[in-house]
Copies of this chain bind each other. A is one copy, B any other.
């Protein structure tokens, strides 16, 4: 329940692979293309692959936007894509604003080798963790107090860990803010294909087009960059396919050169360019995958509800955002909100896309047992006996160690 893996639709990919053995066998019209692929090390990537990727990116966004393959840069996963963008846009010591809660790995991806500082934009449950203009301003001010030059803001849309898509209002706030402060917007949209419910997904690029930024504010248009990958939407993290999309020529050129530090295997490029070229397959996959995500989420949410636990209303992603002081003793591996730099205590991210039906049932049983036990023994903070208080304090102590361990292992394992 901790790792954001999408295992719900592998059967569809496997079925496609069985019907199209040449893609994996590195053949074209029955002839082997192994030799040219083995030698292929142009860091611009296989042209056919990039053409398919931009079409797929557009399709996921309901074809309301189009993408130019010349503005696409390949990277060995979104991890590499995010770091590359930071290297391109920031000098060491400059600051990036990051709404909370956020993916724990960003501390590594954005800061570790670049020397950039993360300044949190605090979001709260009171408005469903929406990004408020005042929160952006507060973060900007606190960066200035720390003598940090703010160079950009990074959003994950759909949000990891919230599982929500950003509203048009939030995106407009962000655009207005980025114009006012003359900063970059990086939109990490690696969960774009997982939106299974309304309201639909609005990409930053769609919001920018709707405001005619390309013509009316080309400066900001050139400061908007998207990160994408096939790890979540197609469930292929092992294949290491990430990418940067930017309208900024200089960024595209610099990122392309930097991509030599994390190129995608040509073997993998070839396989996936064939898979994505099959539009009937991609349409079916997207539709079916979203349907299955929705169904699985509903099972989890209703199971949690039975145990008296509520999730944040969500419409995307592979996880729920759950509020509960869940103790270590439940025996479930979830992601602690603390490791996601959530500004409020008590939240957890619960991934549902990698669980089998049987595992989900076990998890539900454990949560129910725990919930019943804790409602018997009284809630923490209510009047409890001194013995219970000692137990509870011990549990909290263990919890904090566990949360700490979870949080550092999450950073350590560096997965989403």
User: Which residues from chain A sit less than 8 Å from chain B, CB to CB?
Assistant: 5, 7, 10, 13-14, 17, 21, 24-26, 32, 34-35, 37-41, 43, 76-77, 79-80, 83, 87, 92, 108, 112-113, 231, 235-240, 257-258, 260-268, 271, 412, 414-415
Is the CB–CB distance between A35 and B21 below 8 Å?
A: no
Q: Could you tell me the distance between the alpha carbons of A41 and B414 in the complex, rounded to whole angstroms?
A: 9
A265 contact from B261, B267, B415, Cβ within 8 A: B267
A414 contact from B76, B257, B412, Cβ within 8 A: B257
Pick 27 A–B contacts, CB within 8 A, sort by A. A13-B34, A14-B34, A14-B35, A17-B32, A24-B24, A24-B25, A25-B25, A37-B238, A38-B235, A38-B236, A38-B237, A39-B238, A41-B237, A41-B238, A41-B415, A43-B414, A76-B262, A80-B260, A83-B261, A87-B113, A92-B92, A108-B257, A113-B113, A113-B258, A240-B266, A261-B261, A267-B271
Is the CB–CB distance between A238 and B38 below 8 Å?
A: yes
Task: Identify the closest chain B residue to A77 (Cβ).
Answer: B263
On chain B, the residues within 8 Å of A414 by CB distance are 43, 257, 260
Given the interface pairs A265-B265, A268-B268, the reply to whether A108 lies near B260 with Cβ below 8 Å is yes
A25 contact from B21, B38, B265, Cβ within 8 A: B21
On chain B, the residues within 8 Å of A38 by CB distance are 10, 13, 235-239
On chain B, the residues within 8 Å of A240 by CB distance are 41, 76, 263-266
On chain B, the residues within 8 Å of A32 by CB distance are 14, 17
Task: Identify the closest chain B residue to A113 (Cβ).
Answer: B87
On chain B, the residues within 8 Å of A17 by CB distance are 32, 34
10 residue pairs, one from A and one from B, having the closest CB atoms:
A238-B266, A262-B262, A265-B265, A40-B238, A41-B237, A265-B268, A260-B414, A80-B261, A38-B236, A240-B263
Task: Identify the closest chain B residue to A5 (Cβ).
Answer: B39
Q: Could you tell me the distance between the alpha carbons of A43 and B76 in the complex, rounded to whole angstroms?
A: 12
